[in-house]
């Protein structure tokens, strides 16, 4: 059943976003160096199948197969002229997976970073970045996406270029960053500063938060640092820590670990909870059950997170994020 993220957020319930795209495609046969976006036209049945598996696992929000679908990323594969085509088709496929469901599910258009550095560190200008994102977002909108899901960002310049593109095209938007470098983004942005980065935009995001990063424990600590910065917070963490088993990259998180992560995320203030790299439909189903059966408790401390999820990869931030408080039941 088609719905919008704004409509879903009118309910007080905690929402479940989907899991990984690329790592699940690797399990289905994607090869190293092959852009996942090409599967939108080369293997559409596999794209729709993964969307349906996430919906069947309980996802309220599914993300399109368009993380790298901007001209600057597609240029690496001589496909920069296919941005609109691939984005629109990816949104259409996601819509087809949702339209046959009996419950409301929102389609979010995934918008990842360009991979380029902005002036003066690099050659990318604000104008060219907005143009690149706008082309992608137009395709997502025309294919039926309800919201631009701007994710894995690291710089204020890129966040604002993508947000400006979404506003220009007429889609509401969400912004999440990857705080994977000693508790900051690669470009030095702290979790608590994200809300300030989009404050100048004429339209505020529907939600802000964190995704990807270096593991479930670390992203939960990031969420603690963001509490109070926005009314609607998103957390979409990796399924444990990646490691190699022979030549295969494997994520350490079990469905049971991800269910504990989801429960802690509710108590830490997340309104939208999902999984990133390594998160399969089986992990997501465990997270759905954890959210649905969760009895709200105290805001977790860093020590609680470590005890229940495992050690941090990054050093913990100041103890100011550890003060536990009782949260009201949603």
Residue 146 neighbours by CB under 8 Å, 6+ apart: 3, 4, 5, 6, 106, 107, 108, 171, 172
Residue 241: per-residue pLDDT: 85
The answer to whether residues 132 and 90 touch, using CB atoms and an 8 Å cutoff, is no
Q: What local confidence, expressed as pLDDT, does residue 319 receive?
A: 38
Is the confidence at residue 327, as pLDDT, over 60?
A: no
pLDDT tens-digit series, residues 291-324: 999 998 999 999 999 999 999 988 765 534 443 3
Q: What CATH class does 5-322 carry?
A: alpha beta
Average pLDDT estimate for 255-273: 98
Confidence of residue 289 (pLDDT cuts 50, 70, 90): very high
Is-contact 8 60, C-beta < 8 A? yes
The answer to whether residues 273 and 236 touch, using CB atoms and an 8 Å cutoff, is yes
CB 33 within 8 A of CB 134: no
User: Tens digits of per-residue pLDDT, 156-191?
Assistant: 999 999 999 999 999 999 999 999 999 999 999 999
pLDDT in tens, 190-215: 999 999 999 999 999 999 999 999 99
Q: Encode pLDDT of 63-108 as tens digits.
A: 999 999 999 999 999 999 999 999 999 999 999 999 989 999 999 9
Per-residue pLDDT band for 109 (boundaries 50, 70, 90) equals very high
HEC sequence for 189-216: CCHHHHHHHCCCCCCCCCEEEEEECCCH
| Residue ranges per structural domain of the chain | 5-322
Which pTM does this prediction carry?
Answer: 0.94
Per-residue model confidence (pLDDT) at position 330: 32
More confident residue, 154 or 250: 154
What is the model's pLDDT at position 317?
54
Six-digit token string for 2: 């088609």
- Tens digit of each residue's pLDDT (9 = 90 or more) over 3-46: 999 999 999 999 999 999 999 999 999 998 999 999 999 999 99
């Amino acid at each position: 059943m088609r719905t919008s993220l704004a409509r879903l957020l009118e309910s007080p319930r905690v929402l479940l976003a989907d899991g990984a795209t690329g790592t699940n495609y690797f399990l289905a046969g994607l090869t190293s160096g092959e852009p996942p976006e090409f599967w939108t036209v080369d293997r559409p049945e596999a794209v729709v199948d993964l969307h349906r598996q996430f919906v069947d696992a309980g996802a309220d929000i599914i993300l399109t197969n368009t993380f790298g679908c901007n001209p600057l990323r597609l240029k690496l594969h001589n496909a920069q002229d296919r941005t609109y085509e691939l984005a629109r088709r990816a949104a259409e496929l996601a819509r087809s997976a949702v339209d046959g469901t009996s419950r409301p599910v929102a389609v979010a258009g995934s918008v990842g970073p360009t991979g380029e550095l902005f002036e003066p560190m690099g050659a990318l200008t604000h104008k060219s970045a907005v143009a690149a994102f706008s082309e992608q977002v137009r395709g997502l909108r025309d294919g039926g996406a309800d919201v631009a899901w701007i994710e894995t960002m690291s710089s204020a310049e890129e966040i604002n270029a993508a947000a400006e593109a979404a506003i220009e095209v007429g889609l509401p938007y969400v912004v999440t960053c990857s705080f994977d470098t000693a508790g900051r983004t690669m470009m030095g942005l702290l979790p608590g500063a994200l809300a300030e980065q989009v404050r100048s935009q004429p339209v505020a995001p529907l939600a802000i938060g964190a995704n990807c990063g270096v593991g479930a424990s670390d992203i939960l600590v990031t969420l603690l640092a963001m509490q109070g910065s926005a009314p609607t917070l998103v957390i979409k963490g990796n399924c444990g820590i990646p490691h190699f088993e022979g030549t295969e990259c494997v994520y350490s998180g079990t469905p049971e670990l991800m269910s504990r992560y989801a429960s802690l995320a509710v108590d830490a203030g997340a309104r939208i909870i999902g999984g990133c790299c390594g998160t399969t439909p089986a992990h997501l189903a465990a997270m759905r059950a954890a959210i649905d059966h969760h009895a709200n408790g105290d805001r977790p401390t860093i020590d609680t997170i470590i005890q229940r999820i495992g050690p941090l990869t990054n050093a913990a931030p100041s103890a100011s994020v550890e003060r536990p408080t009782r949260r009201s039941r949603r």
